[in-house]
Amino acid sequence: MKKTLIFVIFLLSFTMNLNAGIINKSAKYTRYDDSTTGLGDNVQEALDNLDASSGGISKYDATVGTTGADYTTISAAIATGKSRLLLVDDVTETASFNMPDNFLLEGTGKYGFNLNMGIYKFLDNSGANQGFDIINIKITFAYTVAGNLFNPNNTDTGKYVFENVYFDNNSTVASSLVFNNTSNNCKTFANDIVLDLPNFNGCGWKDRHSNLANFFIIGGGTNCGDCLILSFANVKGISFSGTFATSITTIEGTSSVISNISMEGNITIGRLEITDCDISGVNLYAGAFYVEGDNNNISNCHTGTITVPSGSNFNNFSNFRTTGTVSVTGNDTGITGCTLNALTINSGATRTRIGLTATNTAISDSGTGTVGVGNIVY
């Protein structure tokens, strides 16, 4: 009996120790609290920064910040071979720098800390950069000579990623782009981007072969134009606020799909210069929609006015609503299933096709070869 009792006690003790070991193993990510040494926070921070895809290697190889960091500038960190950087405080950069392959620059929280680039640039002179990731950061710059904050090499073969980035462009000269990608080999993925632009033309974003989402563009004045110049892009979600030039292009697109363009308040942007594009979900309300280009399909939109100038051909509008006048001078324009305040077909327009469209006043037609079916005045 005594031997049996001893065995039972041993068995219970073994089982409890085994369970404790399993519990401790499964709880390795528990935050340790050591208020005297701070060791617990350091351990937890290291655990938080583990990159599972790299087999447990830390996601970052250095921190950068004015205080409390390994380096006070990004250029200094890169000069010592670092390429995976965590921004832990505001930084004022003192030089341009070449981005290494697979470069990572990440802040904490949405738009994180502010990186003041001043007159300096993110350079890419390698010719074979495998891409970079810029995440959770605000970047401020102010060029006095035309240039590009990011200017990837056109022979790159990697992927450019921007996530939650606020670009504050305070340049005092035109043609000072935030991003200028001319590569046919790389792809850009950008989401939740703010472009705070100055009162100069050509200070926005130029890209090709890109997937862009949730762009918020703030216009800095009546000279602010060429905000987005896109080729072979897929864009979903562009919102405009501020003041823009109304006589020059605001968005230029070639062979792109662009959806959900909206205004914050009753503002007017400039021309939408597009060729071979699919455009949908444009909500300019009282704003102007100037279509300069060919072979575009534009649907499910609500705008103030629409202008199709001479030289803009084979454009098709469907499920459109306007509060102003649609003015057509281009050739082979199709308008189907729309509700328009007024429609004017100007001299020089040919072969305009109007179907199942309601207008507030009678259609004014000075064009040639106009065809209309099932239209009404409401």
Same domain, yes or no, for 86 and 212?
yes
Q: Are 167 and 196 in contact (CB under 8 A)?
A: yes
Candidate from 17-31, 53-67, 254-268 with smallest mean pLDDT: 17-31
pLDDT in tens, 291-348: 889 999 999 998 888 999 999 999 999 999 999 999 999 999 999 999 999 999 999 9
Q: Give the pLDDT of residue 22.
A: 34
For residue 253, give the nearest of 220, 283, 297 by alpha carbon.
297
Q: Percent of the chain beyond pLDDT 90?
A: 64
| 104 and 217 inside one domain | yes
The token duo for 70 is 């390994």
**Torsion angle, alpha carbons of 244, 249, 253, 258, to 10:** 30
Least confident of 37-41, 85-89, 360-364: 37-41
The answer to whether residue 275 sits within a structural domain is yes
Residues 210 and 355 reside in one and the same domain: yes
pLDDT band of residue 157 (cuts 50, 70, 90) is: confident
List the domain range (segments joined by +) for residue 45. 15-55
CB 263 within 8 A of CB 240: yes
Q: What pLDDT sits at residue 46?
A: 39
**Counted domains in the chain:** 2
Q: Where are the alpha helices (DSSP H) in 49-122?
A: 74-79
The predicted model scores a pTM of 0.82
Q: Are residues 181 and 260 in the same domain?
A: yes
Does 253 fall in a domain? yes
pLDDT at 151: 85
Task: Specify whether 204 is located in the same domain as 236.
Answer: yes
User: Same domain for 173 and 296?
Assistant: yes
Tell me: do 43 and 104 sit in the same domain.
Answer: no
Indicate the pairing of strand 249-254 with strand 271-275: parallel
The verdict on 143 and 239 lying in the same domain is yes
- What mean pLDDT is predicted for residues 119-146? 88
The answer to the question of residue 164 being in a domain is yes
Residue 266, both tokens? 């009753």
pLDDT given for residue 52 in this prediction: 39
Say which range, 74-88, 98-112, 354-368, has the weakest mean pLDDT: 98-112
Q: Which residue has the higher pLDDT, 37 or 130?
A: 130
Are both 43 and 149 inside the same structural domain? Answer: no
Whose structure tokens read 């970047």?
139
Interatomic CA distance for residues 369 and 367, integer angstroms: 7
Instruction: Answer for the pair 122, 105: CB distance below 8 angstroms, yes or no.
Output: no
Question: What number is the average pLDDT over the span 139-164?
Answer: 89
Residue 137: pLDDT above 90? yes
Is pLDDT at 8 greater than 70 in this prediction? no
Distance CA 311, CA 262 (A): 26
Is 61 a domain residue? no
* Cα gap 34→113, rounded to integer Å: 28
Is residue 147 located within the same domain as residue 222?
Answer: yes
What is the Cα–Cα distance from 97 to 81, expressed in whole angstroms? 12
Q: Which residues lie closer than 8 Å to 189 by C-beta, 6 or more apart? A: 159, 160, 161, 162, 210, 211
Residue 315 and residue 266 share a domain: yes
Query: 1 or 264, which is more confident?
Result: 264
- Output the pLDDT for position 266: 64
- Residue 364 sits in a domain whose CATH number is 2.160.20
The CA-atom distances, in angstroms, between 226 and each of 108, 114, 135, 151, 205 are 31, 26, 25, 17, 8
